[in-house]
Chains A and B, each alone.
Chain A
Amino acid sequence: MKADKITYLTDVALITCIASAGRGDAVIQAAQAMGAVGALVYHARGIGPRERLGLLGIAIEAEKDVVNILVATDYQDAVFEAVYRAGELNSPGAGLAHITPIEKMAIYIPREIRERIPGLGDSA
């Protein structure tokens, strides 16, 4: 495969889950169990319901894990549900999750996988 040939992947969605700090690993494990191949995690400080929930604003964990997961749109609902449950997002102030449609994506595709894709071969 030449470096200047790009294979664009479409029908991909980005699931972003903002969960309590420490729950990021559980979210990733749940997503991977549903077929997600990778995830990104970074820390953030959540501001919002903290001041209105809990005792003097200290009962809601302000430190958050932000988890980004790229999945095929065919599986986005299944992965999203797994993420929602693993992140315990049904609890007030626990966090939120959303799905962003990806217009196109590019990534290294090994030759053996390229050869398995009809019409792609090694010439695309």
Chain B
Amino acid sequence: MRGRDILPAGARRAIDGLGHADVVVGIPSFNNARTIGHVVEATHAGLVKYFPNKRTLIVNSDGGSTDGTPDIVTGLSMPPADILLISHPLFPVHRLTIPYHGIPGKGSAFRGIFEVAQIVGASACAVVDSDLRSINPEWVQLLAAPVVEHGFDYVAPYYFRHKYDGTITNNIVYPLTRALYGVQVRQPIGGDFGMSGRLAAHFLAQDVWDTDVARFGIDIWMTTTAICGGFRVGQAYLGTKLHDAKDPGADLSDMMVQVLGTVFSLMETHEGVWASTTGSAPTPLMGFRFAVGVEPLAVDVERMAAMFRSGVENLCGVWEAAFDASDIDRLREAACPSAGPLRLPDDLWVRLIYGLACAYHHRALDRQHLIRSSLPLYMGRVASFVTEVAGMDATQVEERLERLCLHFEAMKPYLLERWRTRLPRRVAAH
């Protein structure tokens, strides 16, 4: 599916009727009637307030909602400018809802938004989640202004999060992306991004839209593609990120397949970039940093540890395809109840993640099985991490994560050696 095929004919006519727009803000949605009104209001206010001289457009890319989400986007009446304490804009903010074709998922929704941005000739584009409860008008400025005014191509979000929040980001995606590509993007799968029209066109030109990129793999794919494509990358401090409560119910195993599968697949695509990269450099951070109160989070450490132990009990035969025997022995030791509270030390964790990446690369096992089998390991790591940082404040947790990142960077030779050596397959009992 190429070109404008992802947009239905009716949507194409509507976009053609709009003419040009300088800034496009996209909101992917699927049954978000409860929250999307607030997101659209905040986005509208942000565009009116911070881009009064620009032609702007809000695009809702909807995946077939049945709860009236698109109607809310188009039918919402906006508060007058004087209530928002802002001057009257030169141009009205247009709003558009488009259904997209293709694989249902966030990535396909983004593709529809990029398509619209390209058609209207936007110089800047931002995307924000439709289930946000904490978005405010400043987010639009923080994500789009670095592109419009400072020449950035890609603006990743930087949130203030609870220390237990975003554990896949903290323990896998951030340290791995940083170690691989040498760029410190703290929230590479944050969900809210700004980008230049040039980069959006570059994204559109890639032949990835029939893969997991069309689903939840889109965030890490955009970040990695921007870094490896040599685009200018920055970060914007957005404060805290609060979602609608329905999201955590999504299947974690599927999420891992889509996100980790995309990360590992990108390692194959960009081997030439990461293989020669050592260390990492900070990424410019824009916006005023402030501490905010965050939602308390309940973590059932015992349940996670039990899942890890069940994994060790049942899946060692599967893991033999990916990990060294000595690593599996260490997992068995960690799972032993007499060993005290569950601890998965950094060096072991890094070896496991690198082992998974290499097993994925060498196809040592069916790739879906491989990633799904890592869920108990991840649960064990989260249980270990939560126990370890229980008494720490936000700064200490960041320092702790910095140490983990340095481990990832220091053990990169291990990754390279394993990546380039095809391991003999061992007999897997399961």
Q: Indicate, yes or no, whether A interacts with B.
A: no
A interface residues with partner B (beta carbon < 8 Å): none
B interface residues with partner A (beta carbon < 8 Å): none
